[in-house]
């Protein structure tokens, strides 16, 4: 009989600056380490200028086009009222608001139920490299 398990962890991710950093394998490794078999994985980014998404992981042009679309929606060259932290800060807050701060991913048979071409990404909206904290939580049954 499978045991109920509830586990949490903070994942630290270094970003190279603006762009998409895939974290799918780190999430899978953590699920394996806790023997999470069937349940729900919640992923939460602890920042207001970075975000999360599930997107295609096969063609990098998809991520390039998504980055271009976000840039068009919240360009750095606009004269924002909030300028204290640099020209990329306010657009980063807007981009984070338009995307997601948390994801709920079903887990079945020890694996995230992602589609064939789906990956989980941390999106860094700031120009400079950052170290981002991602809170993980799993509730379900263990192996």
Total domain count, the chain: 1
Question: Would you state the pLDDT for residue 112?
Answer: 98
Q: How many helices and strands (H and E) does the chain possess?
A: 3, 8
Q: What is the pLDDT of residue 1?
A: 62
How many whole angstroms separate alpha carbon 19 and alpha carbon 133? 16
Res. 31: pLDDT tops 90: yes
DSSP letters, 50-77, are EEEEEEE-S-HHHHHHHHHHHHHHS-TT
Q: Which residues contact 119 (CB under 8 A, 6 or more apart)?
A: 22, 24, 54, 55, 56, 57
Residue 81's pLDDT is: 94
CATH number at residue 49: 2.60.120.460
Provide the residue range defining the domain that includes 74. Answer: 4-142
* pLDDT tier for residue 80 given thresholds of 50, 70 and 90: very high
pTM, two decimals, is 0.95
pLDDT tens sequence across 50-71? 999 999 999 999 999 999 999 9
The closest of 109, 133, 120 to 45, measured between CA atoms, is 133
pLDDT of residue 142: 87
């Amino acid at each position: 009989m499978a045991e109920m398990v509830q586990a949490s962890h903070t994942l630290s991710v270094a970003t190279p600056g603006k762009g998409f950093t895939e974290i799918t394998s780190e999430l899978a490794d953590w699920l394996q380490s806790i023997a999470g078999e069937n349940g729900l994985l919640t992923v939460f980014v602890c920042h207001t200028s970075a975000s999360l998404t599930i997107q295609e992981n096969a063609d990098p042009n998809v991520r390039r086009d998504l980055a271009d679309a976000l840039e068009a929606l919240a360009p750095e060259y606009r004269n924002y009222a909030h300028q204290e932290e640099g020209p990329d800060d306010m657009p980063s807050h807007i981009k984070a608001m338009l995307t997601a701060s948390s994801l709920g991913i079903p887990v079945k048979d020890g694996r995230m139920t992602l589609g064939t071409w789906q990956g989980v990404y941390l999106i860094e909206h700031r120009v400079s490299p950052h170290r981002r904290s991602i809170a993980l939580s799993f509730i379900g049954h263990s192996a």
